[in-house]
């Protein structure tokens, strides 16, 4: 009788133990990519170096500021006000701008980098996708020299601009 009871208990509990000892599923690895910000200035390619790349203010969603240093030519800054975590095209205006500061100390920009100053140049910033972890888009524009520095420099044509950044 004791043997039968033991066998019955084993038969009843063994399947429960085996089911409850199921191997834990491994977590899905996060999507991994190398952030970048690149484009062309007057037909010459630039690529922001990874160690200087930044994206600020993307978590709250109201603004997107990104940029960094590229090769040996200078730095770029892109500011998008009213980002609001949404996709779509934004024209350069008094709150959205693209700026390039050359190593020679000449500042070029499209938009208005100081509130209340006139908009100069033209261009657009397009947000293609936004997730909790990343933002991806394109940009282009004709950047003019900061008026107080203008001594006859030609505008810069920024084309084929792309970015894919981790959100901070």
Q: How far is CA 2 from CA 12, 17, 103, in A?
A: 15, 22, 90
pLDDT in tens, the chain (168 residues): 444 333 333 333 333 343 344 455 555 455 577 888 999 999 999 998 777 777 765 445 578 888 888 876 789 999 988 788 889 999 999 889 999 998 788 899 999 988 788 899 999 999 999 888 888 999 999 999 988 887 788 999 999 999 998 876
Position 132 scores a pLDDT of 81
8 A C-beta contact, residue 97 and residue 67: no
Report yes or no: 55 and 167 within 8 Å, Cβ to Cβ. yes
């Amino acid at each position: 009788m004791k043997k039968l009871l033991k066998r019955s208990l084993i038969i009843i509990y063994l399947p429960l133990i085996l089911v409850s000892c199921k191997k834990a599923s491994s977590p899905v690895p996060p999507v991994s990519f190398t952030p970048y910000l690149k484009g062309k200035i007057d037909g010459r390619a630039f690529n922001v170096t990874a160690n200087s790349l930044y994206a600020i203010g993307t978590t709250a969603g109201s603004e997107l500021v990104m940029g960094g240093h590229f090769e040996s030519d200078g730095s770029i800054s892109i500011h998008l006000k009213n980002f609001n975590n949404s996709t779509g095209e934004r024209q350069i205006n008094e709150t959205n701008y693209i700026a390039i500061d050359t190593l020679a100390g000449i500042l070029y920009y499209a938009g208005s980098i100081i509130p209340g100053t006139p908009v100069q140049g033209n261009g657009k910033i397009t947000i293609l996708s936004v997730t909790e972890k990343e933002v991806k888009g394109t940009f282009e524009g004709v950047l003019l020299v900061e008026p107080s520095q203008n001594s006859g420099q030609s505008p810069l044509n920024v084309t084929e601009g792309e970015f894919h950044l981790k959100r901070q």
